[in-house]
Structure 1
């Protein structure tokens, strides 16, 4: 018999808010945070897209972690640790400082599954530049073990330089670039001994991670999971953003607003860094410790377009088949759509919605969180799942920041109050990775 799985903690970190309270206020208040691209981005290239969403600003040392630990992380791992602490605190777990790491009570039989899309590359770029320039690193004698590094003061010559135009080769470049690092640091710093790994499904990575975590608990492999998605694409010269710009996937709007599901849409808004970790628990375990429950996870479906490395299948057949499987016999009240604001993707997604749910009068409420947050690639699915769970808990649906909306879509323009029984979060990624997660309002008497 499958076990029931519930969401008991939400830990988001975005430009509009860090932590559930500020994040929720920003989302339902339709707050945005856009910045113009700096001059340093256009030394050798002229961008068609003129705006991006900056990464959130924070310090792990302010949360009690030693600065030597933070110095060994790329931005994506720093985000994963921050979001984990926020999620655990939100879920009601007691966290205290240990001799080296955090001490957390009640995390027995807990797994970690994190999704990432591309991960951070700044250290790789700097180290490569230093390597081919044959830079000489004046560093102290290398320490023999990671343990000695954790207990030491960071050596600035190993990581950064007082002259930002003269990169140094970072001796920790390999562990910093390992794609398993976001999950590994969670288990190391919070004392978790359960299975721990990352997965990659491009823009659907956060949703895949959440779905797989749901399955592991439902199937009895663990009782709890820390799961979600993180992404950090910040690079001081804008090379990663340029890559997306050259694919013509980014918004060309004069004000930077992407406007998903609008006739004015021209591409997505680049988000250079964000993350979200959710605490999933087996229902009886959550009840036994008196946890607040946001929503119950009751379904997960994933599939592949097998069509193109950067384009959705125009037929939408695979996505439609996932909807048919997960919605069987269920009335969906709310759909947090993928909604990138790219002309082709929004058109395909809207046709699938109409194919599954009929016309506007019979469709669930539909919105796109990317219209507020921009597109954070591997983190987007987790952030949107968090919004979906919050919407169920609070009976609220955020409005769409969209003008001239596409026809025959049930798109609320303002945040509204409405009861939600079932809600879906949808993610579709480069390479044809598709995922749907079904949430349900938790009722004590069921």
Structure 2
């Protein structure tokens, strides 16, 4: 018999808010944080997309970690540590001083799974420049080769630093499934608890694509995936959409617990996770399968005849993806009058690749607990989709969060309002 898994802590960090309170106010207030691309981005290339979402500004030294530790991390690892501390505090855990770093009471055997899409690359770029500058002239001032470049670039580092800094001895690893990475991490954490391998897990996603010259954003721009809107608003599920809004850095970690353990310590429960499905389109490295058959199959397996009240859709704002996703929604749920409420959090937050699924899971859990759904930042919705334009009050029993990534990685997580008797 599968064990019940509940969400007891949320640790989001994004430009519109760090921590549950500010993040929630930003999302439900439909607050956006856009910045124009700097001139330094266009020294050799003219961007078609003119706006991005900046990374959140913070320092780990301000939350109790020594600057020498922070200096050994790239931005993605810094985000993972920040989000973990926020999630643990939100879940009511006491964080004390351990033999080396921090110690969390009752969490010694906690597992950690963090999703990441591409990871930070600034240290790699700087170190490579420094390496070739040793034999080439004209570099002034001479860049620095970082002797910690390897541990800083290791894709396992965001999960490893969580285990190291918080004294966690359970399983620990990162998972990569492009834009679905955060959802995969949460789904695998759910499985570990429901199948009895762990009692508590820290899971989520981080991404840090900030780079001083804009090379990473240029890569997406050259694929014609980024919004070309004059005001930067991506408008997912709107005829006015032209691509997604690039988010250069964000993260979210959630605390998942086995129900009896959470109840024993009197934890606040946001929602229960009751299903997870994942699969591959096996179609293209950058495009969704136009037929949407594999995604539709995931919906059919996870819904199982239940009535879904709310769908936090993938909703990137690209022309093809939104068409395919809307077709699947209509195929599964019927016409607009029969569909759940649908929104795209990427219309507010931008698209943070590996972090997006975790941020959207947090939004979904908050929506269930608070019985409200944020609106869609669009001027005109696509036909035959149940897209509220403003934030509204709504009782939610079942909700879905959907993530689809480059390479055909698809994932759905099913949430339920917590009820004592299931």
TM > 0.5 fold call? yes
Residues 225-236 of structure 1 correspond to what in structure 2 (within 5 A)? 225-236=201-212
Q: Distance in 2 between matches of 1:165 and 1:379?
A: 35
Residues 26-425 of structure 1 correspond to what in structure 2 (within 5 A)? 26-134=26-134, 166-425=142-401
Q: Distance in 2 between matches of 1:84 and 1:219?
A: 24
Q: Distance in 2 between matches of 1:209 and 1:435?
A: 10
Per-residue CA shift, 1:42-80, capped at 9, x if unaligned?
Answer: 000000000000000000000110100000000000000
1:270 counterpart SS class: coil
Q: Indicate if the aligned counterparts of 2:31 and 2:348 stay in contact, CA closer than 8 A.
A: yes
Runs of 5+ in structure 2 lacking a partner? Answer: none
1:424 counterpart SS class: strand
Q: Distance in 1 between matches of 2:404 and 2:389?
A: 23
1:314 counterpart SS class: coil
Q: Distance in 1 between matches of 2:372 and 2:357?
A: 19
2:115 counterpart SS class: strand
Q: Distance in 2 between matches of 1:62 and 1:109?
A: 27
* Equivalences, count: 420
CA drift of 1:165 comes to: 5.4
Per-residue CA shift, 1:57-109, capped at 9, x if unaligned?
Answer: 00000011010000000000000000000000000000123353112101043
CA 1:165 to 1:262, structure 2 compared with 1: closer, same or farther past 3 Å? Answer: farther
Pick from 429, 433, 436: which aligns with 2:405?
429
Calculate the aligned-residue CA RMSD, in Å.
1.2
1:271 counterpart SS class: coil
CA 1:53 to 1:245, structure 2 compared with 1: closer, same or farther past 3 Å? Answer: same
Q: Distance in 2 between matches of 1:76 and 1:391?
A: 27
Q: Distance in 2 between matches of 1:47 and 1:298?
A: 43
Q: Distance in 1 between matches of 2:100 and 2:147?
A: 22
Q: Distance in 1 between matches of 2:134 and 2:339?
A: 61
TM-score (norm 1): 0.93
Per-residue CA shift, 1:31-52, capped at 9, x if unaligned?
Answer: 0000000000000000000000
Runs of 5+ in structure 1 lacking a partner? Answer: 137-162
CA drift of 1:134 comes to: 1.1
TM-score (norm 2): 0.98
Q: Distance in 2 between matches of 1:30 and 1:404?
A: 16
Q: Distance in 1 between matches of 2:234 and 2:273?
A: 30
2:5 aligns to what? 5
Q: Indicate if the aligned counterparts of 1:64 and 1:97 stay in contact, CA closer than 8 A.
A: no
1:20 aligns to what? 20
Q: Indicate if the aligned counterparts of 1:135 and 1:169 stay in contact, CA closer than 8 A.
A: no
